[in-house]
Amino acid sequence: MKAKFNLLVGYFEKLATLHKGIRHSTTEKHFFRFELEEMLTGMKSEMNYPALVLEGYDFNFVDHDSDNLHKRVNCAFMILGKVADKGDWDAVHALWDSLEEIGDELVVRILADKRERQTVCLAYFHASSITGAPITDMNMIHYGFRYAFELSWPVNNETDPEVWNALE
């Protein structure tokens, strides 16, 4: 089966559902898939916390002068929370601590699922590609961590005659 972004979305939604600290469900949404800018400017009102947000991705192709074409995919997820008083730095730091713990637990689960071959989209996931950073929104009420990572997926190098008209 070919890896696709929808598989990655489904996988992260499953993580949000299974993690006891996130508790995503159909009636209480804690998982979202959208871009950082969209989330920071308007989607916040629909979020329950903590929220797991999977961003879109960008990619490039790598072939190393061979027939092993791969799509190198750059992705990120965020784990977000909210504080009532933006001046309460003790609350902000406590929230950052708990959210970083959840983020790290997600990374450990991703690695375990890769080892157990739970989803094709993780086949070329490497923990060494992960970078993380604390984040906050411009209103200073939403805080969290952003984990950027890289995947790669093999791409079939064979031309499919079913999708091409014959050359004239």
pLDDT digits 0-9 by tens, 46-59: 778 999 999 878 89
The amino acid present at 30, given as its one-letter code, is H
> How many distinct structural domains can be found in the chain?
1
Is residue 21 domain-resident? yes
pLDDT of 2 over the 80 cut: no
Provide the whole-model pTM: 0.85
* Per-residue pLDDT reduced to its tens digit, 15-29: 999 999 999 998 999
Supply angle C-alpha 62, 66, 71, rounded to 5. 25
What per-residue confidence (pLDDT) applies to 39?
58
- Residue 133 has a pLDDT of 96
DSSP one-letter string for 46-62: G--SSEEEE---EEEEE
Q: What is the CATH number of the domain that holds 132?
A: 3.30.2000
| Averaged pLDDT score across all residues of the chain | 86
Q: Looking at the domain assignment, is residue 167 inside a domain? A: no
The neighbouring-strand residues paired with 98 are: none
Q: Output the six-digit token pair for 147.
A: 């984990």
Whether residue 117 lies inside any domain: the answer is: yes
Q: In terms of residue numbers, what domain contains 134?
A: 5-151
